[in-house]
Amino acid sequence: MNIKNISGAGIGLRRGLVSPFQSHGDLSPVKFMEVAPENWMTIGGKSAKIFRAYAARYPMILHGLSLSIGGPDELNTTFVKAVKKFKDEINAPIYSEHLSYCTDGGQLYDLMPIPFTEEAVNHVVERVLRVQDILGERMALENVSYYLRQPESEMSEIEFINAVIEGADCYLHLDVNNIHVNSTNHRYDPYQFLDALPTDRIAYIHIAGHYNEAEDLIVDTHGAEVIEKVWQILEYTYQNHGVYPTLLERDFNYPPVSELLAEVSRIDTLQKKYKQQNINKNEQQAFV
């Protein structure tokens, strides 16, 4: 399956949501799901059967947590090969990872920011190319939240992301909540940031909630409902970059499934609105 065959709105299949999803039944308008391969590719028994049933019903994007694509340790090619095997087994459309690192002689249990330097760009690009060689296709990298400015940065966040995407010839996994978080914490315009992203590289989108630690400090948690400012960023993305598959992230503090599906429905409604606007725009241009 190819990422181009995925459309609509999706939701993450988290361990804590399996039972509520089963009890709720119909998950419309969910069109696809996403899992961390680390959490599912080695399970067996009843859990494996449940997962395989969902994977047979919904396209299942793989969104990794532990590859540490920007880390100093040797690239874990054994893990990448296991991901490829799992991906092929369930016919997953794409494998994405965070543009960050999480190892340094051992697991750090957090997603650490990569320095915005030319050396770091080259390091990440080389590792992404190796991953893509194993997969036999492009992977996607997610723009991540970060909380401290790198003291020896040689470029901006957007310049760093674009340099990696171009150098590795990979996809962009666009997280609009992370744009809101970073633009607030680091004082930049989220819409100018979006304008500078490569439209043709976007594979799919994340939208999520966060936690306001202080007026000038937002923490990316995926544990709350999506706020209006983030919905506005998503709308701007659809209007200016086009409509892409979009997934609601919720990793803990789960509300009733009906509330999660209401947010998924809002994604679906926005997608239909901007798809129609893009159709009307193209029709008007055809007569110019």
The residue behind tokens 């770091």 is 120
Tally Cβ neighbours within 10 Å of residue 212: 12
What's the pLDDT at 150? 72
**Which amino acid type is present at position 240?**
N
Q: Which residue in the block uniquely carries the two structure tokens 């067996």?
A: 44
Q: What is the pTM of this model?
A: 0.93
- 282 pLDDT more than 70: no
3-286 CATH fold: TIM Barrel (3.20.20)
Q: What is the token pair recorded at 111?
A: 């997603």
Ordered DSSP codes for 36-69: -HHHHTT--HHHHHHHHHHHHHS-EEEE-SS--T
In the predicted model, is pLDDT for residue 108 greater than 70? Answer: no
CA angle 182, 242, 219 (to 5 degrees): 20
At CB < 8 A and 24+ separation, what contacts does 236-239 make? Answer: 236/191, 236/194, 237/174, 237/176, 237/194, 237/205, 238/270, 238/271, 238/273, 238/274, 239/274, 239/277
Mean predicted lDDT score pLDDT of the chain: 91
Q: Tokens 């150098």 map to which residue? A: 167
Residue 77 φ then ψ, to 5°: -70, -25
- Look at residue 216 in the predicted model and tell me its pLDDT: 67
> Measured between alpha carbons, how far is 128 from 138 in angstroms, rounded to an integer?
9
- pLDDT at residue 149 tops 80: no
**Which residues are paired to 10 by β-bridges?**
32, 247
On the question of pLDDT at 2 being above 90, the answer is no
Residue 232: pLDDT band with limits 50, 70, 90: very high
Query: Which pLDDT score is estimated for 13?
Result: 97
What's the average model confidence in pLDDT over 16-27? Answer: 96
Give dist(CA 102, CA 105) in Å, integer.
Answer: 10
Quote the tokens at residue 114: 């990569």
Rounded to an integer, the average pLDDT of 139-164 is 90
The closest alpha carbon to 91, from 7, 33, 50, belongs to 33
pLDDT digits (tens, 9 = 90+) for 169-227: 999 999 999 999 999 988 999 999 999 999 999 999 999 987 676 666 777 778 889 99
Q: CB of 164 within 8 A of CB of 144?
A: no
Phi (first) and psi of residue 268, to 5 degrees: -60, -40
Kindly indicate the confidence band of residue 101, based on its pLDDT and cuts at 50, 70 and 90. confident
The domain spans of the chain are 3-286
Give the per-residue pLDDT at 58: 97
Report residue 163 as tokens: 């340099």
Phi, psi of 249 (to 5 degrees): -95, 125
pLDDT tens by residue, 110-140: 677 889 999 999 999 999 999 999 999 999 9
